[in-house]
Amino acid sequence: MNITFERYTDNWGAKIALSMSYNMSMLVRDDMNADKKRMFWNGEMGKWTISDNPESVTKLHEVLANHDAGCYGLNIEDCVQLTSARAFYSAPDKLILEWDFQPNWKDINSSMKTAAAGNAKWMDKEKRWMIPIATAMAVANAVRPHFAPLADVIENNEYVKQSHAATLQRVELSSAVDTDIELPMHYQYEMMRDYQKVAPVMYMTGGRKRILIADEMGLGKSLQALGCATIGEHERVLIVCPSIVKHNWANEIEKWLGGNTSSFIINGWEGAIEPARFNIINYDVLGKRLEHLLSIDYDCIIFDEVHRIKDQKTQTTKAALKLAKGKDGIIALSGTPITNRPSEFFTSLNMMLPATFANFFTFAKKYCNAKKNTFGWDYSGASNIEKSRDGVTTPLNHILRDFMLRRSMDDPRIAEEMPDLVETIINLELPPEAIKAYKVEYNSWMEEWVQQQANFGSSDAGFTLNMMTELRHIAGRLKVDAAVKWATTYYEQNEKPLVIFAHHKDVLKQLADRLTSAAMITGDTSSNNRQIIIDGFQTGGYRYLICSTNAMREGINLERANTTLFVEREWVPAWEQQAAARVRRMTQEESTCHKVIMSANDTIDSMFDQVVAEKADLVQRILDGESGKTRDAIGKALLEKLKDGLEVMI
């Protein structure tokens, strides 16, 4: 029996369509696909097909011979050898690859995926591969032994050539404090300091328009972000920020870009969004406003305090990712983008460079020391941050330098432009009756903790946290008298305003009630009232501004004062750094700023001071090149000190 054939080409490469009876086709199909699938049904032609390559043709002749059939005229030497390949750039960091089917496709795919560091992705709908453009040269070298035409089109792609050079430039700029590249004529750039001009240059290098400005607080990130928006010639910009700083952004736009630059603050879950070059919205309403925002043709989004979208499961994070997709420019700001774990940084990375950081699990295995335990996967660790453990994985900080700009206030190259920060701890001797009251509460909590240890072998984590929180709260209330006296004396002696931070509402209220000419801002203060109070303080309307640390630690300029007083400490050192930076700004006229911490002896305060000092590198070390530790370390260390003090207090 003779089987007829027809050669043709489709998106999958060269094919051979076979004409045979139904019964014969079933026999041939089963034998051809016995060890691996070689025959495919083409519905449009109504025929079974095989790939036009020597392997498939040889196998077909063997199968047909077993069934006393043949396909005369189908010769192996006539097999079509398609060798074309194509490479396309897709912003901001993708290289799309496609090539004609090759018999050794497994070797090509395997070498490509390995060279792309696990970030090669098959796009089934388009029938193409996607790789991060940063890995293009490595992929070309890896696939060359298996399919040279593919390696050639990768290496000769103009975007690949430009990308390699641009990456080297951005890495060099990532910690620079000046640049030789001239910015276009614009009065905004004339007002920028040399180190601030680096951001717009880095933003435009290679035309990628992606940057994470991770400078320490007080170095003028908002001005740098506006500089990036200007040089990027973005016509419609959405600024996403904490509610507290919406009005501050509007002020910054007017200050640096002039009164003719339009801005509109979006308030609430509904209502019109007026056309303006800059729309400003807070994270809290992003999800509710998503559909409306998607209908507006924003070409750039600025994410202020971008670490707020660390949780991939929240409505806010999902909305942010949808908004960012496909935008011409993404500008992210945060002085502390990694608050606890590298895993919490993934969302921001994926949003900015979706090909480079395409898969969370791949990222977690490399950089979060991912471990599988009885409860599932644990991603709370850190690995390959500054150095590669296996000699193969590229350290995270090496990748970050391609788009993250990070400078410190203490950098000697710019420190002379910044006011010095002097930190002082005031150790208070509480009155005997106050110490007695504290000991009663302390003993009560510790007795219950000891009882839990005796009964269950451990204590409930929630109970332990509540215990430490309440002991901190008690100490805070006991320090109010001393704080009022210190603040009053400070103003009398210096005639300068003072910013006071505390954690608990009742502590804040007592301070506000007892100090003359004081205003208070907590998390309950509305955005409008908050801005009115801030403006009043900045223009001399109040001597004291009493603030909830969590509500006022980000994005606010309070440079009228040069001293902050912390009546209660925070669990995370970075939060205190952020709060203290409210007065340590580039616009600060004083040569020295002061951070004063009030600590009560013989309370949890003194233990807390020691622990915070020991763990103050929680965030800094990840950003600046060493492995980080989790916030839980503070709680564990503090509990050990409480246990050590058990005998003393009782």
Share of the chain above pLDDT 90, in %: 48
594 three-state secondary structure: strand
Task: Answer whether residue 639 shows pLDDT above 90.
Answer: no
Token representation of residue 425: 């701890």
109-123, 360-374, 552-566, 571-585: least confident range:
571-585
Q: Which of the four pLDDT bands, split at 50, 70 and 90, describes residue 626?
A: very low
Distance CA 120, CA 6 (A): 35
Listing DSSP states for 438-472 in one string gives HHHHHHHHHHHHHHHHHHHSS--HHHHHHHHHHHH
Q: Which of the four pLDDT bands, split at 50, 70 and 90, describes residue 361?
A: very high
By CB atoms closer than 10 A (0-12, 13-18, 19+), residue 360 is middle
What is the pLDDT at residue 308? 86
Q: Which of the four pLDDT bands, split at 50, 70 and 90, describes residue 337?
A: low
Query: Are 160 and 133 in contact, with CB atoms under 8 Å apart?
Result: yes
Distance CA 577, CA 612 (A): 12
pLDDT, tens only, 271-293: 899 999 999 999 999 999 999 99
Distance CA 220, CA 213 (A): 10
535 or 637, greater pLDDT: 535
What is the pLDDT at residue 628? 35
Token representation of residue 558: 């309070």
Task: Answer whether residue 339 shows pLDDT above 50.
Answer: no
Single-letter amino acid, residue 219:
L
Q: Which of 212-221, 234-243, 489-498, 568-577 has the highest mean pLDDT?
A: 234-243
What is the pLDDT at residue 426? 84
Whether the full predicted model's pTM is greater than 0.75, yes or no, is: no
415-424, 510-519, 616-625: least confident range:
616-625
Task: Answer whether residue 634 shows pLDDT above 60.
Answer: no
* Angle value at C-alpha 352, between 349 and 353, nearest 5 degrees: 80
For range 450-457, the mean pLDDT: 77
For range 185-207, the mean pLDDT: 89
Cis peptide before 92 (omega within 30 of 0): yes
Task: Answer whether residue 610 shows pLDDT above 80.
Answer: no
- CB atoms near residue 342 (< 10 Å): 25
Query: Are 93 and 355 in contact, with CB atoms under 8 Å apart?
Result: yes
* Angle value at C-alpha 41, between 38 and 47, nearest 5 degrees: 110
φ and ψ at 241, to 5 degrees? -155, 170
Q: Give alpha helix (H) positions in 479-603.
A: 480-494, 505-514, 527-538, 573-580
What is the 3-state secondary structure of 540-569? CCCCEEEEECCCCCCCCCCCCCCEEEECCC
Task: Answer whether residue 168 shows pLDDT above 70.
Answer: yes
What is the pLDDT at residue 649? 38
Distance CA 305, CA 334 (A): 5
What is the pLDDT at residue 643? 59
313 three-state secondary structure: coil
Task: Answer whether residue 650 shows pLDDT above 60.
Answer: no
pLDDT, tens only, 458-473: 666 677 778 888 988 9
Nearest to 618 by CA among 577, 565, 557: 577
Q: Which of 201-205, 244-248, 607-611 has the highest mean pLDDT?
A: 201-205
Task: Answer whether residue 340 shows pLDDT above 80.
Answer: no
- CB atoms near residue 392 (< 10 Å): 10
Distance CA 549, CA 566 (A): 9
Task: Answer whether residue 619 shows pLDDT above 50.
Answer: no
- CB atoms near residue 550 (< 10 Å): 15
pLDDT, tens only, 103-152: 788 999 999 999 998 889 999 888 899 999 999 999 999 999 999 999 99
- Helix (H), strand (E) counts: the chain: 25, 23
Q: Give alpha helix (H) positions in 86-217.
A: 105-115, 136-143, 148-156, 158-173, 187-190, 198-204
Nearest to 23 by CA among 75, 67, 74: 67
Distance CA 628, CA 611 (A): 16
What is the pLDDT at residue 633? 54
Task: Answer whether residue 188 shows pLDDT above 90.
Answer: no
586 or 585, greater pLDDT: 585
For range 568-580, the mean pLDDT: 81
Count Cα atoms within 13 angstroms, Cβ side, for 156: 8
326 three-state secondary structure: coil
Selected from 3.40.50.620, 3.40.50.150, 3.40.50.300, 3.40.50.10810, the CATH number assigned to the domain covering 173-405 reads: 3.40.50.10810
Angle of helix 480-494 versus helix 461-478 axis, rounded to 10: 50
CATH topology of domain 420-649: Rossmann fold (3.40.50)
What is the pLDDT at residue 630? 35
Distance CA 98, CA 17 (A): 23
By CB atoms closer than 10 A (0-12, 13-18, 19+), residue 493 is exposed
Task: Answer whether residue 379 shows pLDDT above 70.
Answer: yes
Distance CA 211, CA 300 (A): 12
Q: Which of the four pLDDT bands, split at 50, 70 and 90, describes residue 484?
A: very high
Mean pLDDT of the chain: 86
